[in-house]
Amino acid sequence: MRKTIFMITLLLSLHSFAQGTRIMYEYRFISDLNKKDSADTELMYLDIKKDGSRFYSRQKVVSDSIRDAYIQKQLAAGVGNFSFKSSNDGKVVYSVSKIYPDFKTNLHTSLGQNRYDITDSKPMNWKIEPDKKKIDQFEVQKATLDFGGRMWIAWFSQDFPFQDGPYKFHGLPGLILEMEDSTGTHLFKFAGS
């Protein structure tokens, strides 16, 4: 019943809102390999629209919005010299966009004042496995992928009409709800929509 209500809500949101659908992931990662017991977590958004998707950090968007509002306020007050340092920009400073239908993938990141857009056209050669389990109320199936020098394990659901997922991952016959690398340093877990 809960799954049916969720699917109806999801389909209505797809039909009703031009802005698309938002999927949330909890991203758990180890940024310092010398401290494997100390993982960071960040809430990530996957915004899916008709022509593509964007994967990005919620905290980065909140921080950028606060900074932009502060700058606009200072400019409106006529303040010429000002500085702004956010106390929490988040740990994930990149975003990834994918353009449908060919899934042209771009990583967007900044270093200092410079912005970089890196196009990635590596093929995703998935191996779909017979293993199945439930994530939340969704039945998911296992798939594996050798990508970026790592072996990845994905769990995808055909209950969603998208062939997308977190970060650069895409190309399975459903939405990727969970993704982890074999070293345990990166884990994306479905956190709602």
- Whether the CB-CB separation of 102 and 90 falls below 8 Å is answered with no
Exposure on the CB side of residue 171, measured as CA atoms within 13 A: 19
Host domain of residue 161: 22-192
**Taking a C-beta distance cutoff of 8 angstroms, is the pair 56, 95 a contact?**
yes
16 within a domain of the structure (yes/no): no
In sequence order, what are the residues at sequence separation of 6 or more whose Cβ sits closer than 8 angstroms to the Cβ of residue 139? 132, 133, 157, 159
Whether residue 50 is contained in a domain is answered as yes
Q: Does the residue 184 lie in any domain?
A: yes
Residue 186 maps to a domain: yes
Specify which of 10-14, 86-90, 93-97 reaches the highest per-range mean pLDDT. 93-97
pTM of the model: 0.79
26-42 pLDDT, tens digit each = 999 997 777 777 889 99
- Number of folded domains that form the chain: 1
In a domain? residue 45? yes
pLDDT at 119 over 90: yes
Share of the chain above pLDDT 90, in %: 60
Report pLDDT digits (tens) over 138-186: 999 999 999 999 999 999 999 999 999 999 999 999 999 999 999 999 9
The answer, yes or no, to whether residue 15 has pLDDT greater than 70, is no
Residue 179 lies in a domain: yes
Q: Identify which of 17, 51, 1, 31 has the alpha carbon closest to the alpha carbon of residue 92.
A: 31
Does a structural domain hold residue 12?
no
pLDDT of 111 above 80: yes
User: By the 8 A CB rule, do 46 and 166 touch?
Assistant: yes
Residue 5: the pLDDT is 40
| In a domain? residue 76 | yes
Structure-block tokens of residue 83: 């500085």
Report how many helices (DSSP H) and strands (DSSP E) the chain contains, helices first.
2, 11
